[in-house]
Chains A and B, each alone.
With several copies, the nearest count.
Chain A
């Protein structure tokens, strides 16, 4: 493992932040104080973080309805995110977007997206911007196994190849689209789809940060070097329901318990880096504590933050009208 220490600590912190953010949201959602739909990324942290570890603010990502993890991995602050999810004026979208629409274009985060398959076309365009503006950046579309069946996603694979733009298509395959298994809904397979649209296919274990980090590095390098797009297929699992409130009757009773016990990317990470002598347990403990405080503070602040003002309703529909 040839990974710089600061990447390791940053990535762990990022994964831990996502985990705590999501676990806390799960608790807070149950209080009834969080409005709207909330889709948790818990369990999938290594994917977003392993990919984004290769990106800077110049690079662009587009996310999904399950977007909190990608946002945090791309550097969006948890204070602004939490406030947004609570519908506060201090939210990163001023309370007008909510969980499904968190975005920060200054960080290259082109938005969570309430529309399945909404992101891949946008990423073709962001990649085109990077190519045209010659800024050396890449654009990454995260999308789920379910989204891999949307026409907009499939068209985008072809378009990115035809244009030979620096795009990476990251299929986060958690085996479900809502309550339907990928084994039912995804005919064929992602590998042949990549070939069918003329791009290389990479595959990795999404429970293992190092597997993601390494493979994503290759896929992103391929794109960044001007060789056109690549597909990265990440195998992972979500630990909660499709959205908060989902009783998950379609999953085996012990499925999530097993995942938590055996495939926790944070536990995996700790075992590996401590085992290899790259970081100490205490380094990670320090991060854990810091993150815990950060999330607590974010929730407290969000709950206290002022609500949007009436005049906000009519603001920002247009730049000018």
Chain B
């Protein structure tokens, strides 16, 4: 057990799986970097933010493949390779670039198995960075996991910490279905204790980062940390929260969410993605259908507004959900009394 950053945890998961299984290969733009360069230095980048650094050196050019800038072809190639015997981990760099290759994800990889009557396996992992907070503006800051979650045939992982990232990525690589693995770019330097040995965290099993009696908070990815901070503050005022990290949006651990809401009767959902048709609406709808009787207050959603992500720091700060907004939402549902009771 050593302190590792989110970046290191992901790198270690990749390395250990590549050591374990020769069919695991990496591909993407500058996942190594330096090919065709004049210095002769290999592994010049190891990914645009250094996440895959060192893997070329250990596994060589046959297993760490730099690609031209052509997402449709190499994400499709990853799908094709997955269907024919390899276990590719393809890096899309920014998830925003899915606009250049959605067909290969949505209509090819995700649908093979169903269209082909169960006769295909597509053990593909697509890693990508998501999220605002980097002043990367509208085309490099989206969350977009709702898009993937909407598509049957995909699994979608949104890890909330280095420990989670390592275990979930190893699980993703060993999984036989196409998995979208999303890394919040603001979290790469976050550190925590992470076991050195490989381990897996199963999909569809939520993690309760804390348990409380008054309000259930469901949060995704980076928002889990904000939710926990909000819960810390609220605790001091006697409002005790359960915080649920679903880990995967597809499959979603509906049972755990419903159990918790049945206990607390109050729910706040924190989702960094655009507010329409997102995970906050998805969880709210689930609960409004299946835990209706338990609900003692409106279901509150803390999300960005329905706008593209702005560039300027002041605006971006307003845009992303934060601890204050979560706190306020929890207070409002905690204080809520239905008319009959009032």
Contact = CB atoms under 8 A, between A and B. Distances in A.
In the complex, are there CB atoms of A and B closer than 8 Å? yes
- Name which of B34, B48, B81, B84 has the most chain A CB atoms within 10 A of its CB: B84
Contacts of A183: 36
Contacts of B108: 113, 115, 118, 121-122
Contact of B152 (A110, A180, A317): A317
Nearest to B65: A163
B296 to A, nearest CB: 31
A37 interface: yes
A308 to B, nearest CB: 5
Interface residues of A, number: 85
A224 B325 CA distance: 55
A271 B307 CA distance: 51
B199 interface: no
Interface in B73-112: 73-86, 88, 96-97, 99-100, 103-104, 107-108, 112
A125 B84 contact: yes
Given A105-B83, A177-B69, A121 B76 contact: yes
Contacts of B311: 35-36, 87, 93, 95-98, 101
B167 interface: no
Contact of A251 (B23, B38, B88, B319): B38
A117 B108 CA distance: 11
A308 B310 contact: yes
B313 interface: yes
A313 B310 contact: yes
B312 A88 contact: yes
B165 interface: no
A169 to B, nearest CB: 12
Interface in B123-176: 134-140, 152-153, 155, 175-176
Contacts of A185: 35-36, 66-69
Closest 9 CB pairs of A and B: A181-B36, A121-B76, A125-B80, A184-B36, A250-B37, A122-B80, A179-B33, A94-B117, A98-B311
Given A60-B84, A156-B73, A251-B38, 12 more contacts: A95-B312, A96-B315, A101-B137, A114-B140, A118-B103, A118-B139, A125-B84, A128-B25, A129-B84, A159-B67, A159-B73, A249-B34
Interface of A: 35-37, 60, 62, 87-88, 91-98, 100-101, 103-106, 110-111, 113-118, 120-126, 128-130, 132-133, 139, 146-147, 149-152, 155-156, 158-159, 162-163, 176-187, 249-253, 255, 307-308, 310, 312-321
Interface of B: 23, 25, 29-30, 33-39, 41, 44-45, 48, 62-63, 65-86, 88, 96-97, 99-100, 103-104, 107-108, 112-121, 134-140, 152-153, 155, 175-177, 204, 251, 305-308, 310-315, 318-319
